Amino acid sequence: MFCYDIIIMNGRDIVNKRLIFHIDVNNAYLSWSATEMLKKGYKKDIRNQVAIIGGDEAKRHGIVLAKSMPAKKYNIVTAESIYSARKKYKNLLIIPPDHKLYKKYSDELYEYLSTLTPYVERYSIDECFLDMSGMNHFIKDPEEFANEIKSKIKIKFGYTVNVGIGNNKLCAKVASDFEKPDKVHTLYDNEIENKLWPLNVDDLFMVGKQTAKRLQSLKINTVYDLAHYPKEKLLKNFKSYGNILYNYANGIDDSPVENERSELKGIGNSITLPKDYENKDDIKVKLLELSEQVGRRIRKDKKYAYVVTLYIKYNDFTKLTHQRKLKNPINTDDDIYKIVLFLLDEVELKPIRSLGIRLTDLTTDKLEQISLFDNIKNNNDNIENLQYTIDELKTKYGKDIIKRASIK
């Protein structure tokens, strides 16, 4: 839900800013395993021991998924091999991951947060966004409220979280990362100069190692440097992705908190890729497939969409939703695919694990704009008719009956 309430005050229009919380479980895998072990009667808290969560040591390819603070003191790092971690501390305690348990703990947390507001987005297994914007009347002091949530989670579930507060998702997420564990931080719009700009550019959300390197080669080292770099030059170097970089460096992000209900709305399809995709042409092939699938479904319902959203899950489990609202609603494969490609151009390319497309803001009325260019309108109608004919053929003879000559 994102709407801006406009309050008329002293004759001035004041835009009431959004209020977003980002809840992030501290060291989730280790905390959740520790909590469960204590529940089951294990006498020691593995959070206070030299312990890690990691794969099967016998198979030798196991790696460290999470480490305790004491393990960190022995320089054990995430993603190193268990073999190498063991060398750093002989009596290292190794707990195998329990993904079923983590899913259960994640669900419980999500359920609890959903009692606070209906606008909860599960961002990853251990992170949620909460849109608290409509609750200004109940929440006098957001920081105090966040502290209450934090202590309730600790008492109710037995582990700690960080809460980041901001006027959008980006700032809330950056804030929750400031100092850990068990902390509440704010990064409001008026704190961007003091709290966001001094950060190193690789601390910025959506800036991966590759991008950071390229930015540093342009002498952009801090978020301040990026926010003050000429936008045209960013666009020249990074194309549309430069837009996102520029906006994020300035703390600008208007993406909505999407709860499960809003994900159920509309028409969408997603696929988990057989391997991680990084090559743009491979990604395009999959996106074309998805465009055709959602296109067929929307036309079956005789509907048109105003909003096209591209969902990406990277292989590091970070997620990205990028969307575009259109002036005229669409429903042909070509139109959907064109918008999706446009969205793809605006995001960072790093190994992708799954892809999805969603069409929302559906309408049954195709907006018939009065146009002086009647031939263009006729042309569009022809494409649409052709599209329906193709759908019919596919229904009759199977979806492989007609294939495109090119993905461009």
CB 130 within 8 A of CB 112: no
What distance separates the 2 farthest-apart alpha carbons in the chain?
79
Residue 255 tokens read as 């993406």
Query: Does 24 help bind Mg ion (rule: CB under 5 A)?
Result: yes
Instruction: Name the residue nearer to Mg ion (CB basis): 99 or 228.
Output: 99
The stretch near Mg ion (CB under 5 A) out of 118-126, 138-146, 212-220, 347-355 is 118-126
Residue 83 tokens read as 């073999």
CB 286 within 8 A of CB 271: yes
The stretch near Mg ion (CB under 5 A) out of 28-36, 192-200, 314-322, 331-339 is 28-36
State the nearest-atom distance from the C-beta of 316 to Mg ion, in Å. 13
Instruction: Name the residue nearer to Mg ion (CB basis): 24 or 253.
Output: 24
Task: Please return the burial class of 185, using the count of CB atoms within 10 Å of its CB with bins 0-12, 13-18 and 19+.
Answer: buried
State the nearest-atom distance from the C-beta of 394 to Mg ion, in Å. 44
Instruction: Name the residue nearer to Mg ion (CB basis): 28 or 330.
Output: 28
Query: What amino acid is encoded at 87 in this protein?
Result: K
State the nearest-atom distance from the C-beta of 219 to Mg ion, in Å. 32
* Among the listed residues 292, 252, 255, 254, the one whose alpha carbon sits nearest the alpha carbon of residue 271: 292
Q: How far apart are CA 297 and CA 89, in angstroms?
A: 56
Instruction: Name the residue nearer to Mg ion (CB basis): 32 or 277.
Output: 32
Q: How far apart are CA 324 and CA 332, in angstroms?
A: 16
Q: How far apart are CA 142 and CA 147, in angstroms?
A: 9
Alpha helix stretches (DSSP H) within 161-279: 169-176, 209-217, 223-227, 231-238, 241-249, 260-264
Instruction: Name the residue nearer to Mg ion (CB basis): 105 or 119.
Output: 105
Instruction: From the candidates 121, 127, 258, 292, give the one annotated as an active-site residue.
Output: 127
Q: How far apart are CA 110 and CA 123, in angstroms?
A: 10
State the nearest-atom distance from the C-beta of 293 to Mg ion, in Å. 33
Query: Does 163 help bind Mg ion (rule: CB under 5 A)?
Result: no
Query: Does 258 help bind Mg ion (rule: CB under 5 A)?
Result: no
108 is annotated as an active-site residue? no
The stretch near Mg ion (CB under 5 A) out of 19-27, 176-184, 195-203, 332-340 is 19-27
* Among the listed residues 114, 121, 112, the one whose alpha carbon sits nearest the alpha carbon of residue 152: 112
Query: Does 126 help bind Mg ion (rule: CB under 5 A)?
Result: yes
The stretch near Mg ion (CB under 5 A) out of 120-128, 163-171, 185-193, 232-240 is 120-128
State the nearest-atom distance from the C-beta of 290 to Mg ion, in Å. 30
- For binding to Mg ion (CB under 5 A), which residues are involved? 24-25, 28, 126
Residues acting as catalytic residues: 127
